[in-house]
Amino acid sequence: MMETKRTKIAALLKSSEIDVNVVAKGWVRTKRGNKNVSFIALNDGSSINSIQVVADPGLIGEETLKNITTGASISVTGKLVASQGAGQSVEITAEAIEVLGVADPEKYPLQPKKHSLEFLREIAHLRPRTNTFSAIFRMRHAMSFAVHQFFNEKGFYYWHTPFVTGSDAEGAGEMFRVSTLDPINPPLNDDGTVDHSQDFFGKETNLTVSGQLEGELGAMALGDIYTFGPTFRAENSNTTRHLAEFWMIEPEMAFYDLTDNMDLAEEFLKYLVAYALENCADDLEFLEKRLLDEEKNKPAVERNDMSLTEKLRFVMENDFERLSYTEAIQILRNSKPNKKGKFQFPIDGWGADLQSEHERYLVEKHFKKPVILTDYPKDIKAFYMRMNDDGKTVGAMDILFPGIGEIVGGSQREERLDVLTDRMAEMNIPEEELDWYLDTRRFGTAPHSGFGLGFERLMIFVTGMGNIRDVIPFPRTPGSAAF
Ligand code: 4AD
Ligand code: MG
């Protein structure tokens, strides 16, 4: 007999070739039936949908069927036939089933009922076998692919920046140290400080908080580049929007001003959302239903008036609102929640950093659409942002999204050497440390801009999940680095 090759279940479900021999392999979701017939729902991760396998106990054998329990891995050989039952168009009539790996029903922790997201976070290897997480992680792949496709179509180069660096790009000092020195007995300098000249790299190093500074070197040679990699921040923010290890996409473009930068970021976000709608329909349908179920348990005032796909369409079809920080402060100062003392951080003067409650008020209550805020006070932004003529604000832009707050942060860069070094002196950033960076301003400097998109914040938005821990396979947060 000629051996049939395995076909993925996604392809079988779409197949128009009926009554052919097929092999399917996967994990058993459920088994039901009686002594005359067994129905097995088989899933291999290629689709949110499982295929139904119809097994005749007389043919397959009681002993084999006994081992076909939720979580077991099996290989099914049989015929793909039109299904009689509701809910699927094709199914497999099994001719032989091999159990590849049993899953003891007494011990298997995933039951065919709903588990809480928190419970599932504790069992990393089984989490992706659930409908919810397999849908999220398939979409994570699709969104990554879309990122590369967008930039490739535009002639951007994927530029790899280091994970281990000697600089603090954002100047926030929230870095994980990288060292091979003995933590108990490190070599010391005469003044008692640790002697990092004896460390692996001969200096103090840390995990990168952003690839931007190295990205700028790429842009000042290749024109348009983007980075897409892991980013590490030791900020003690235990929120549903922060991870200690997250993925960031950072395009950097020579000859772009702030408006070009905003135009690109808006186009990029819309492209990603459109890609999800077009390519992840089955997973989105599942996640949309999940969200509706969840919303039913919420008090009416907290419920979203838009479904997940409506929300995505809305972002795709509407222009983002653009306004300056100064205009935003005016709106916030005169807002109802501010006047009634409802903000945890009341807005009184100009100059304060916006909290996520303010960002979400602007997006969800005032404008009811994504917002791009520009021209922030220099004192609340990083050293590399371009100084405006007023001497008070910088050419920054943050994109704020419903349910999320800041999803993108970016700016036009300070390309004037003297202005940049003055800023660094003001902020106590030693020039020697960034000499390599300042060289781009010394030789052939040019206006340029860029931004950073937090990939997991995008994933929260497109999946409708409420917690950033649930859109990454192995979340790292303060106090938690399991698996
Ligand atoms: O605003 P941030 O800090 O900007 C930068 O790092 C710049 N170097 C970007 C650039 O201009 N090239 O971070 C950019 C984005 C934020 O808007 C947010 O979406 C995400 O990164 N982000 C985080 N996501 C998850 N967990 C965290 N702890 C994050 N911190 C920032
Ligand atoms: Mg930011």
Q: Domain coordinates of the chain in residue numbers?
A: 9-101, 129-174+209-470
What pTM value is reported for the model?
A: 0.96
Q: Is the pLDDT of residue 16 over 90?
A: no
pLDDT over 90 percentage in the chain: 86
Cα separation, 457 vs 467, in Å, equals 9
CA of 31 to the centre of ligand 2 (A): 49
Q: Is the CB of 24 under 6 A from ligand 1?
A: no
Atom of ligand 1 nearest to the CA of 215: 12
Burial 376-410 (b: 16+ CB within 10 A, else e): bbbeebbbbbbbbeeeebbbbbbbbbbbbbbbbbb
Q: Is the CB of 475 under 6 A from ligand 1?
A: no
pLDDT, residue 295, reads 86
CA of 483 to the centre of ligand 2 (A): 29
Residue 339 has which token pair? Answer: 């006047």
CA of 376 to the centre of ligand 1 (A): 16
Q: Is the CB of 452 under 6 A from ligand 1?
A: yes
128-158 pLDDT, tens digit per residue, is 999 999 999 999 999 999 999 999 999 999 9
CATH architecture for residues 9-101: Beta Barrel (2.40)
**Considering every ligand atom, which ligand is closest to the CA of 212?**
1
CA of 409 to the centre of ligand 1 (A): 6
Cα separation, 353 vs 380, in Å, equals 6
- Nearest alpha carbon, ligand 1 atom 18: 454
- Nearest alpha carbon, ligand 1 atom 31: 454
Lowest mean pLDDT of 119-123, 132-136, 239-243, 406-410, name the range: 119-123
pLDDT, residue 302, reads 74
Q: Which residues pair with 322 in a beta bridge?
A: 372
Q: How confident is the model at residue 160 (pLDDT cuts 50, 70, 90)?
A: very high
Q: Is the CB of 399 under 6 A from ligand 1?
A: no
Q: Is the CB of 26 under 6 A from ligand 1?
A: no
**Considering every ligand atom, which ligand is closest to the CA of 170?**
1
CA of 452 to the centre of ligand 1 (A): 6
Mutate to test the pocket of ligand 1, among 156, 248, 480 (most ligand atoms within 8 A of CB): 248
Q: Is the CB of 170 under 6 A from ligand 1?
A: yes
Q: Domain 129-174+209-470's class?
A: alpha beta
CA of 27 to the centre of ligand 2 (A): 42
Q: How confident is the model at residue 222 (pLDDT cuts 50, 70, 90)?
A: very high
pLDDT, residue 36, reads 95
**Considering every ligand atom, which ligand is closest to the CA of 385?**
1
CA 472 to mean position of chain CA atoms = 7
List Cα–Cα distances, 197 to 275, 436, 466, in angstroms. 49, 20, 45
Mean model confidence pLDDT for the chain: 95
**Across residues 87-101, what is the average pLDDT?**
94
